[in-house]
Structure 1
Amino acid sequence: MTPAILFLEQQDAKFTLHQYHCTAHDDFGAHAAAQLQLPLAQVFKTLLTEGEQGAIVAVVPASAKVNLKRLAKAAGMKKLQMMAPAKAERLTGYKVGGISPFAQKKALLTIVDTSALQYREILVSGGKRGLSLGISATLLATALNVLIADIV
């Protein structure tokens, strides 16, 4: 049981669990998609970025790269850069490869790419490597009060 699962259960949110054997050391989203036999664009990765005004969480398809300029614009900031993995782990309470958008140590502005809306269910990290959560983009947006924007 991870904090992400507990958070969703407390919200009475409808989600599915997808476990797989994680042997990856990088590109965890692509590894999850391959293990779960799902389209790469349906599996989303949680990325941490930072700028002068603070940290922003980006949730983007594993098949794409976050566009930092678009993300900054959506967040109302001038410039963002990728956060160092060790700092992301300290800030969220999760290990890289298992950073969930849910139940992070600190509530951060989260922006989900618009492509999530084309799927009935997307997969995001469940809070540890080898565990993904299936959830609708609209439910994710409601549970976290996120923004949805074109950020890839």
Structure 2
Amino acid sequence: MSKTTRATQTLAKAGVSFTVHSYDYDPGAERVGLQAAEALGEDPSRVLKTLMAEVDGKPVCCIVPSDREVSMKKLAAAFGGKSASMMKPADAERLTGYHVGGISPFGQKKIVPAAIEEAALAETLVYINGGQRGLQVRLAPKDAQAALKAIAAPLIA
């Protein structure tokens, strides 16, 4: 497995301090984020999942703890929209250039507005997908927010 991806290159170019962690990705896992947390021996609240969604038909990226669900109402409100829905996996792959299970918010093919769960900013370090299945980057959540120019908002149900 390569530890250099578009995501890690983007973070390095932005001067963000991070470490790379790989784990055995289970393609049959019901919830990829929880499987990653377990494989890394981390609390699921510190392993954040990257979800691609649409607010009023426009693509957005949201980053939330792997053990929580996104509130579509809160997601829409965070971006000043009326409605939100999850993006179809094929559309998410085409937009980001990553495969489902390995979608990182960093280094996506098309930059879209991003939001990070505000509660995650209280953590010292978090894990976020590093651009391929079985690869996570560990970094300060405020660094992730800054690199993405993400808004912090309550996103979880």
Q: What TM-score comes out, normalization by structure 1 length?
A: 0.97
Unaligned runs of 5+ in 2: none
Match of 1:80 among 84, 105, 109: 84
Check conservation: 1:91, 1:105, Cα contact below 8 A. Answer: yes
Q: Distance in 2 between the 1:42 and 1:51 partners? A: 25
Q: Distance in 2 between the 1:40 and 1:117 partners? A: 14
What corresponds to 1:64 in structure 2? 68
Amino acid at match of 1:61: P
Q: How many equivalent pairs are there? A: 152
Check conservation: 2:101, 2:132, Cα contact below 8 A. Answer: yes
Match of 1:6 among 1, 9, 21: 9
Q: 1:63 to 1:6 in 2, by over 3 A?
A: same
- Alignment of 1:19 with 2:22, yes or no, is yes
CA RMSD across the alignment: 1.0
Q: Distance in 2 between the 1:123 and 1:142 partners? A: 15
Q: Distance in 1 between the 2:45 and 2:27 partners? A: 18
Secondary structure of 1:128's aligned partner: coil
Check conservation: 1:57, 1:101, Cα contact below 8 A. Answer: yes
Q: 1:53-100 CA deviation, whole Å, 9 max, x = no partner?
A: 411111000010000100100101110111110110000000001100
Amino acid at match of 2:12: E
Identity %, equivalent residues: 37
Amino acid at match of 2:62: A
Q: CA deviation at 1:144?
A: 1.2
Amino acid at match of 1:92: T
What corresponds to 2:150 in structure 1? 146
Check conservation: 2:10, 2:107, Cα contact below 8 A. Answer: yes
Unaligned runs of 5+ in 1: none
